[in-house]
Every structure is written in structure tokens, then in C-alpha cells.
Amino acid sequence: MTVQTDLPPLSSLPARPYLDEGGKIPDGDVKGKIGAYAVFDDRDTLQYIGYSRDIALSLRQHLVRRPHQCYSFKIQTIDRPDRKVLEMLRQAWIAENSTTPPGNSDEEALWVNPIDVKPRLSPEERDAIANAVDEISKIKCLKKAARRVESEILAELSDRGATEPLRFNPKLKENGFLDLK
């Protein structure tokens, strides 16, 4: 698909389960591939349409960020990066859907940005950070809170049957963010 007129309708693409029988994202044929993808929830409602230079990595990020909205996906790969074609494909799929998916409107930040653990801080964690005597103590508190939220996310994914190995970027934790490495 390198010609603009080759834009396939979203409805013509096969849906793939987000997790296979072994609890992994079936990404063997999309690892390192460039293209557009659409993510659906457990009721087959379109949640997000994106494009990426590595579809597999993006699918992993979305699973961690929005585990309850990631149950199946559709993809269209292209041979070389072409933002114009990918954006046209995304816009065509949104138009075909007749409504903008929540991940492409109100909830976009939840789909595309690292997880901010600060809104999930417990009152005790908020107090510890507020009363930290220095920047190093504050960083330690944020990292501890980030590890707690990371554990909650991994438990949530485990409950869904996910066995996908996921590694979070340790440098981001000290700023109170979680994202895959």
C-alpha cells in the first residue's frame, strides 16, 4: 500500500485478538513494521486509531496504558514511513466509523502519553512527597509510588491472562511516570 488510492476501509481488515492463547500480543508479523492500527474494546467498539513506526511497540504501550479498552486490533502496514499516507488512513477510518473514537478525542492523552502516577497517589504518598526534606527524598517517594502503580497495572493485566513480558523505563519513575522501555 504505497499509493494513496490503496487506502483499505477499516471494515475490510481482519480483527486480531490483543492477547493470544498464551497471553502474548500476537505481534510477530508487525514487530518493527510501519503502519496504521485500530484498537477495539471487549464489545468491538472502536477506541483508538493510531499510526506508528513500530506497530508492535505501540500496541504494547496501549495495553499498559488502557488495558480495559484493548481487546482486539486491526492493522495496515506500509513499506516506508509516510506521515501523509498514515494520517490519510487514520482520517479515512475515523470517517468510516462516523464518530471519533474516544482515544482520538477526549481521552487522547491517556492513549499517547506516559502514565502519570501523581493522580493515583495515596494520601500517605502525597504527604510523604509534600514533606520530603530534599529532592532526593521526593524522587524516592515518587519512584516508590510508581512501582506500586506498576504492580497494580501488571496485576490487572495478569487478571486478563496477559503473560507478555513488560519492562518499564526506570528513569521515568523518578518523575512519577510509567512507560515501557
pLDDT per residue over 13-34, tens digit each? 999 999 999 999 887 888 899 9
Q: Phi then psi for 39, rounded to 5 degrees?
A: -110, 135
For residue 113, the Cα-to-chain-centroid distance in whole angstroms is 9
138 and 151 share one domain: yes
Arithmetic mean of pLDDT, 93-99: 95
Q: What is the pLDDT of residue 3?
A: 42
- Last residue within a domain, chosen from 112, 137, 167: 112
Other beta carbons within 10 Å of 113: 12
50 and 128 share one domain: no
Number of structural domains the chain divides into = 2
Prediction pTM value: 0.90
Q: What is the pLDDT of residue 38?
A: 98
| Geometric angle at alpha carbon 53, from 168 and 97, rounded to 5° | 100
CA distance 27 to 33: 10
20 and 90 share one domain: yes
Q: What is the pLDDT of residue 145?
A: 97
- Last residue within a domain, chosen from 63, 96, 112: 112
Q: What is the pLDDT of residue 181?
A: 87
Structural contact between residues 93 and 100, judged by C-beta atoms closer than 8 angstroms: no
- Quote the domain boundaries for residue 125: 115-178
Q: In percent, how much of the chain has pLDDT > 90?
A: 89
Work out the end-to-end distance of the chain between its first and last CA atoms, rounded to an integer number of angstroms. Answer: 30
C-alpha cell at 36: 496504521
* Residue tagged 524516592 (cell numbers): 140
Arithmetic mean of pLDDT, 105-131: 96
61 and 130 share one domain: no
C-alpha cell at 24: 502474548
Arithmetic mean of pLDDT, 73-99: 94
- Last residue within a domain, chosen from 112, 132, 153: 112
104 and 130 share one domain: no
